[in-house]
Amino acid sequence: MANEKIIPFAQAATLCADLRAAGKTVVHCHGTFDMIHPGHIVHFEEARALGDVLVVTITGEEHVNKGPGRPYFNDQLRSRWIAALSPVDYVVVVPYPAAVEAIQCVAAHYYCKGREYANAANDVTGNIADDLAAVARMGGEVRYVGSIVFSSTRLLNSHFEPYPPNVKAFCRTVAAECSADRFRQIVDSFSKMRVLIIGDLIFDRYTTVEVQGLTSKNRILSGRHMADDMQAGGALAVYRHMREFTPHVKLISLAGTEPWLDSTLAEFIEPEGDAIIRSPEFTTIVKQRFVEPRVEGKELTKLFSVNYIDKDKPSPELQQSVIRRIDEYIENYDLVLVMDFGHGLMEDVVREHVQDKARFLAVNCQTNSNNHGYNIINRRYRRANIFTLDQAELQLAVGARDLDYGQELTKLARQLGSSYAWLTRGSHETLGRNCVKDISSCPPFERQVVDTVGAGDAFCAVASLAAASKVPLNVATFMGQLAGAQSVRIVGNAEPIRKARLLKGGMSMLAF
């Protein structure tokens, strides 16, 4: 029976050890195998010919890194049809994103990869080196097999519907301007960019509680504390995103002198990137969100939040300290990205100085509960080469609820002299506009939303890199949307956008 070949990951190590002890030569193949094609059949046949037993491990669906909508087929279907193939002896679904754990589990005599991976330059994830090292540690050999090569991704994109029709249509438009290989070249070129981030430093504390109900006397929501997680938010989160794409990143911000600050900062920022001013006059911003335990497959439920933010603006002396710090660096950077959350750093004198000094300026001026109605981009900034904002922020800038979004985005871009401008509208669309008045309308890529916090910041980081590199509008919008799609699958800013995931997802979506 085919199902007898499908082995749980927890049992696979023992099975493979028993096979080796019985004198069997074990061969191992690993991949996503989202759609079986002739290339896979030949790959398995050539691999099986190397030994007595062929074990095929497949990446579990939650860890597949080929962009939104993938894998097209779930774990059960993929493992079932691989098990039905005569060259395959065992199939194991692996609950990890890379192959190292699978290699350690199987500990095969021969680990087989496709012939295209003999050239390390074809590995966009950078995982092949880890795979080779793991095979060597386990005492195995790597063999490159498969004399016929097809692409499951290209076949799925061309003949199936892994994405909604509007997403597929947009990807075809982008692919006509930018091949998958060109996309990779552009993203790799970001590594030369020198980026100065000036913005509010925020720590996001996620406090997980189990809601027990209402207290009997005061009708207060009662919850049992379960866990706390401190995350890098605000400009610090954007710094971490940028560091995935270029090592040349500096962060200028304000923080307090709390005893916990430096040790916490050290978890998120490298010493060479830290240009943060510490002052006893300032309170380090912490936004504490009380949330319920995450339920797999559902958006995180937030109950309420408490913000630790100074009510008064920084003193004139402290503002001048910020200006002096900016002057130390600003002329040496290709891209200056202002992340203005309206929490005290970007006061009038600082904003004017940055606008005067920055050669290429990107602005993200955000509206939130602490500054609603006051932190409006066209009232606080007179220029921006790039800007990003959301629907509520555009409505405040225009002073109207009902509007033609494309028309108003264009007007605002003209007012600020912007070469690129983006409006993110959550689950509706993202609109982009460039200096030749082209409008790009991009649908959302990800429907399985975990947490929207930080998604706009991730979009801004990657789109700004693309715009500063003069990437065509549709391609730059595509890149930003990929970052946002990756972000909404993460709780808050628990981890930065990963370049390898963005590369692999983007190249998969552009394969036609």
pLDDT at 1 over 50: no
pLDDT at 52 over 90: yes
Residue-wise pLDDT for 258-288, tens only, equals: 999 999 999 999 999 999 999 999 999 999 9
pLDDT at 369 over 50: yes
Side by side, which strands form the sheet with 420-424?
A: 249-252, 195-199, 335-340, 361-365, 386-390, 420-424, 430-434, 439-442
438: burial class by Cβ within 10 Å (0-12, 13-18, 19+)? Answer: exposed
The reported pLDDT for the residue numbered 438 is 82
- Look at 238 and 81; give whichever has higher pLDDT: 238
β-bridge pairing 254-255 and 277-278: parallel
Separation between Cα atoms, residue 381 and residue 383, nearest integer Å: 6
Domains of the chain by start residue, with CATH: 2-159 (3.40.50.620), 194-200+235-249+257-276+315-509 (3.40.1190.20)
Q: For residue 326, give every residue at least 6 positions away whose Cβ sits within 8 Å of its Cβ, in sequence order, or none.
A: 198, 252, 350, 353, 354, 357
Identify whether the C-beta of residue 269 lies closer than 8 Å to the C-beta of residue 249. no
Of 406, 395, 469, 405, the C-alpha closest to 437 is: 406
147: burial class by Cβ within 10 Å (0-12, 13-18, 19+)? Answer: exposed
The reported pLDDT for the residue numbered 163 is 72
pLDDT at 235 over 90: yes
Residue-wise pLDDT for 427-478, tens only, equals: 889 999 997 778 899 999 987 888 888 999 999 999 999 999 999 999 999 9
Lowest-pLDDT choice from 122-136, 141-155, 256-270: 141-155
Q: What percent of the chain has pLDDT over 90?
A: 72
* Token representation of residue 166: 């509007």
pTM above 0.85, yes or no: no
pLDDT at 160 over 60: no
Separation between Cα atoms, residue 275 and residue 435, nearest integer Å: 33
The reported pLDDT for the residue numbered 159 is 54
pLDDT at 174 over 70: yes
H-helix segments, 341-470: 348-357, 377-380, 391-398, 405-416, 455-468
Residue-wise pLDDT for 333-359, tens only, equals: 999 999 999 999 999 999 999 999 999
